[in-house]
Amino acid sequence: MTRVAALAVGAFLLAGCGGSDGALRLFAASSLTEAFQQLEPNAQATFAGSDELAFQLEQGAKADVYASASPRYPQRLYREKLVERPRVFATNSLVLIVPKDNPAGVSGLGSLMKPGVKLVLGAEGVPVGDYARKVLGRFCRSILQPQPGKCPRARVVSEEQDVKGVVSKIALGEADAGLAYATDVKPVAGKVRSLEIGRLFQPTVRYEIAVLRAAKHRDAAEAFVTLVTGPRGRGALRAHGFGLP
């Protein structure tokens, strides 16, 4: 999805929920969908790539709470005085995912360099895409030592705007492998398999949450942050596979 298309979708979602004026307005990373819907099913929620949501907020979109899969965007919005000080509330890890029948015989990161293996990643700037590129970069440096050189390149056939797009491509068999958050495998467990990538290559994945300075429903926003960071929220996050800071 292009940035323009994503903005159009976001605007449609916001316009379509105009009747829920009293509801908490929540902008959150796609990977938080299931956990946040469990915690606050009545929120006027928009789930998408953290980068797209941040861009929409910078362009004047209205929300009460912003939750991101990377500190990069909440910290940027904080510097721009659009949000209150962000708080880390969860962690995650990346896994290599393949279709259930694994037709390409992918067994690990090294398999991604084989001719014909089709890889899907998050787009650059999307947290899951940036994390995936860190994984591949670390893997390349490890196999090239002690003689640095040009790393073999995987064949990337699609770059998605959020982690749900990556998982969907693999679940539908449209690619041979993808790098996604461990938390996003459970909803499609019958269609994909996950492979560990090794701690040596694992990036640090931290989620941050913040109240918008222009929040219309400030009490509800602060209550939601308290919920997420409290015992019930931590329990829900853990149940959905997230780590806790």
- Return the HEC string of the chain: CCHHHHHHHHHHHHHHCCCCCCCCEEEEEHHHHHHHHHHCCCCEEEEECHHHHHHHHHCCCCCCEEEECCCHHHHHHHHCCCECCCEEEEEECEEEEEECCCCCCCCCHHHHHCCCCEEEEECCCCHHHHHHHHHHHHHHHHHHCCCCCCCCCCEEEEEECCHHHHHHHHHCCCCCEEEEEHHHCHHHCCCEEEECCCHHHCCCEEEEEEEECCCCCHHHHHHHHHHHHCHHHHHHHHHCCCECC
- pLDDT attached to residue 16: 37
Percent of the chain at pLDDT above 90? 82
What average pLDDT does this structure show over 147-158?
78
pLDDT category, 6, cuts 50, 70, 90?
very low
Per the prediction, the chain carries an average pLDDT of: 90
Burial classification of residue 9, based on how many CB atoms lie within 10 Å of its CB (0-12 exposed, 13-18 middle, 19 or more buried) = middle
Of the two residues 62 and 15, the one the predictor is more confident about is: 62
Sheet holding 25-29, edge to edge: 44-48, 25-29, 65-68, 205-211, 87-92
Bridge partner residues of 83 (DSSP): 212
pLDDT category, 143, cuts 50, 70, 90?
confident
Q: How far is CA 228 from CA 20, 88, 183, 233, in A?
A: 22, 11, 17, 4
- pLDDT attached to residue 146: 55
Percent of the chain at pLDDT above 70? 89
- pLDDT attached to residue 144: 66
CB 11 within 8 A of CB 60: no
Q: For the chain, what is the largest distance between any 2 Cα atoms, rounded to a whole number of angstroms?
A: 62
**Is the per-residue pLDDT at 1 higher than 80?**
no
**Is the per-residue pLDDT at 28 higher than 60?**
yes
- pLDDT attached to residue 3: 45
**Is the per-residue pLDDT at 236 higher than 50?**
yes
- Write the pLDDT tens digit of every residue in 64-77: 999 999 999 999 99
Of the two residues 5 and 199, the one the predictor is more confident about is: 199
Burial readout 14-24 (b: 16 or more C-beta within 10 A, e: otherwise): beeeeeeeebb
- pLDDT attached to residue 149: 59
- Name all domains of the chain by residue range, CATH numbers in brackets: 3-91+205-239 (3.40.190.10), 94-201 (3.40.190.10)
**Is the per-residue pLDDT at 54 higher than 50?**
yes
Name which of 26-30, 82-86, 184-188, 235-239 the model is least confident about.
184-188
- Write the pLDDT tens digit of every residue in 159-216: 999 999 999 999 999 999 999 999 999 899 999 999 999 899 999 999 999 999 999 9
